[in-house]
Amino acid sequence: MSIHFPKVGHKEPKAIGLMGGTFDPIHIGHLVTAEEARQQFNLDCVIFIPAGNPPHKNSSKLTDREHRYLMTLLAVANNPYFTLSRIELDKEEPSYTIDTVREFYQKFQGKAKIYFITGADAVLDIITWKDYRELLSMCSFIAATRPGYSLTKLKVLLGPAFSEIIPRIHLLEIPAMAISSTYLRRKVAAGKTIKYLTPASVEQYIYKNRLYHQE
């Protein structure tokens, strides 16, 4: 696995954040979440991982993976602590989180602490994820939430598994979590502006390549 780490120092990273998602398109909520996680958890870098063939979504409805990769590249280019990986994009088989985290864990031989950054709603389904116990043994989760999010819903849905899982879950309040990729796609399809909801470079890429106009 070849990863180009940000040039923010010459030491080996001690803590990294992995941020997975379809990024269809990437938006300001993703970037704010990644930067806030980096600062609060002292991450040496955040690696964005665009999904190739996510098992929980219909891949035929996703925008072409190269468009999603390039939009993510444009979005992270001006942050020296951000980088991205094609680890899932270059696979045809389903992109399971356990396989991705396992590769990073093996790369660092357990010497770098791994945080997987995702939304709190995704964590609600964690016991349905492939090999979730092994996943929890290799990484902790940073669950981005809207302000005021309660753990009650998580406790109810996880049931007896709550006490096993909660030590590996860290909530991170992000006001920009109200923004979603679906919202951006719908605005573009309706002919409305997405200015300030995504970096200007991504906005220009979307219009130049006429992405989402036919949704």
Each domain of the chain, given as residue ranges in start order, spans 15-178
Tracing tokens 């930067």 back to the chain, one arrives at 35
Please report the pLDDT score of residue 3 as a whole number.
56
Phi-psi region of 9 (alpha: psi -120 to 50; beta: other; left: phi over 0): left
Per-residue model confidence as pLDDT tens digits over 137-155 = 999 999 998 877 777 777 8
Per-residue model confidence as pLDDT tens digits over 68-116 = 999 999 999 999 999 999 999 999 899 899 999 999 999 988 789 999 9
Beta bridge partners of 114: 16
Q: Given pLDDT bands bounded at 50, 70 and 90, which one contains residue 177?
A: confident
Give the CA radius of gyration of the chain.
Answer: 17
| Token pair belonging to 177 | 């979590």
pTM here?
0.91
15-178 in CATH: which number? 3.40.50.620
- What percentage of the chain has pLDDT greater than the value 90? 67
Of 201, 183, 41, 51, residue with least CA distance to 112: 41
